[in-house]
Amino acid sequence: MELNDELDYFPDRGSQWTSQLETSNWLEVAFDRLSTEQRAVVEMTYYQGLHYSEISEIMQCPENTVKTRMFHARKILAKILPELGGRNSI
């Protein structure tokens, strides 16, 4: 099986594909700096598109705790992402 055959399976080829791969890598690095709870809140907000009240229900914690976790997560991400994602101008 040739490498070119494998590339056919990916949605985008060339520079767009490599930039997506880079984004994926630095997001992984950034997310690793978050606590499990903070990461859960971020993922449920941005991946799943859930409201904070729904997240509080899922995580069985007060709504304010969800907001606080997101607040701290944003602070950490804001600190890390400009360094890691400088090339991607976030």
Partner 1 sequence: MTLTQIKITSKSEHQEVWDLLPWYINHSLDPAEQDFVRRHVKTCVTCRVEINQQQQLLEKIQQQDLLQQASQISFAQLKKRMNEQSKLRSVFAEQAKLSQEQKLFSHQFLGFVKYNALAASLLLLAMPLMLNLPTDDPELKGDYRTLANPAEGEHKNNSIRVVFAEHLGAEQIKAILNGVSGHIIKGPSKNGIYEVQIGNRQTNSLEVNDAISQLRKNSLVVFAEPSHQLSSSD
Question: What number of other Cβ atoms are within 10 A of residue 50's Cβ?
Answer: 17
Minimum gap (Å) between residue 7 Cβ and partner 1: 9
The alpha-carbon radius of gyration of the chain (Å, integer) is 17
Distance (Å, rounded) from C-alpha 90 to C-alpha 57? Answer: 31
Minimum gap (Å) between residue 60 Cβ and partner 1: 19
Contact footprint for partner 1 (CB under 8 A): 1, 6, 9-11, 20-21, 23-24, 27, 42-43, 45-47, 49-52, 54, 67, 70-71, 74, 77-78, 81, 85, 88, 90
